[in-house]
Amino acid sequence: MVDLLAVGNALVDRVHRVTILPPPDGGAAILERSRAPGGVEANVAAAAAALGLDAAMVAHVGRDADGEEVLADLRERGIDTDGVRVGEPGDTANSLVFVDPEGRRIIFTGGRGAGALELADADLVRLSGARVCATSAYVPAALLRGLADACARTDTLLSVDLPGTFDDLAPRGITRELVAALLPRISLLVLGRAPLADLTGTEDVDEGLDRLRRHTDTRVAVTAGAEGLHVDGDGERVHAPACPVEVVDTSGAGDVTHAALIAAWLLDGAPPEQAAVAGAAAGGHATLAAGARGALPGRRVLAGAAAQRPTGAEPPGPRTDPADPGRH
């Protein structure tokens, strides 16, 4: 049995380091270009593998150089890729990532990728042999609904990232009503402040969590930038401040946070306080290097962070910036 089956996006990030993130009608100079494998669910699988979890991937890539790069990276990390479909040349999805000197970024994604995924009988077998299935609302609505149904039948825990507002997710068929209907079958929901506000109708994190709690006992984690990580579930609500680090790049930090929460909260059965500290520490560590997988923490990193900073402590030091363990 695998610890984690990630289902969804595995693609190539084309990263542009720029002078600024410009406003509408503005411009910026490109300082440096690079590329690396990425994708929300593939990043979660990579971070889980770095934490010592047995991980597998279901995704769709093309029969092309980008697809070969994606598969090679997953395999080098020890991730089972038997569930990755190889389609036609050009099928591998790509993201254009623009990162400013402070590590903030904007991302544009295109290509078939997860949009071509449909659940096959072999995937249902894989789900039945997994302790946790991780996915996101960046997959088509039919796939998200199918995963929720299949996990309910197989007693596999379902962990879902709600990574954007519904205006952005609408082309995939992801609606507020769908997410609300699926919540009872979701074991862990990870989302940022903007998606929480869009889902609940309030920008106040505590009020948003209160509104969710009236309808579901789903565990919820809210990444809130400089405010840190809010965790609500198992009868507790905990806030872990953001880690004070020298931020290089926030790309993929939310995916790393997600993997740490799966490891600590869903698989290890840690209490919410311990899970929150692990998630915040993982997200902070992930910002220390360029790229979504440039600084994946291991178990020792998270254990050290937990020992050094109890939950509720204020981020020390005026010279460092709190890392946002937020969006991808």
Distance CA 196, CA 132 (A): 23
Residue with tokens 């889902």: 199
The residue extents of the domains of the chain are 2-11+38-92+112-322
The per-residue pLDDT of the chain, averaged, comes to 91
Neighbour-count burial for 282-293, b at 16+ CB within 10 Å, e otherwise = bbbbbbbebbbb
**Which three-class secondary structure state does DSSP give residue 28?**
coil
- In this prediction, residue 319 carries a pLDDT of 26
What percentage of the chain exceeds 70 in pLDDT? 93
Quick check: 143 and 120 in contact, CB under 8 A? Answer: no
pLDDT, residue 323, reads 45
Count other Cβ atoms within 10 Å, centred on residue 214: 7
In this prediction, residue 325 carries a pLDDT of 41
List, for residues 305-324, the tens digit of each pLDDT value: 767 655 443 333 322 334 44
d(CA 292, CA 254): 9
Residues 241-299: tens digit of each pLDDT: 988 888 888 888 999 999 999 999 999 999 999 999 999 999 999 989 988 899 999 99
Cα within 13 Å of Cα(173), Cβ side: 8
CATH for 2-11+38-92+112-322 is 3.40.1190.20
Quick one: DSSP state of residue 291? S
Q: What is the DSSP letter of 266?
A: I
pLDDT tens-digit profile of 160-184? 999 989 999 999 999 999 999 999 9
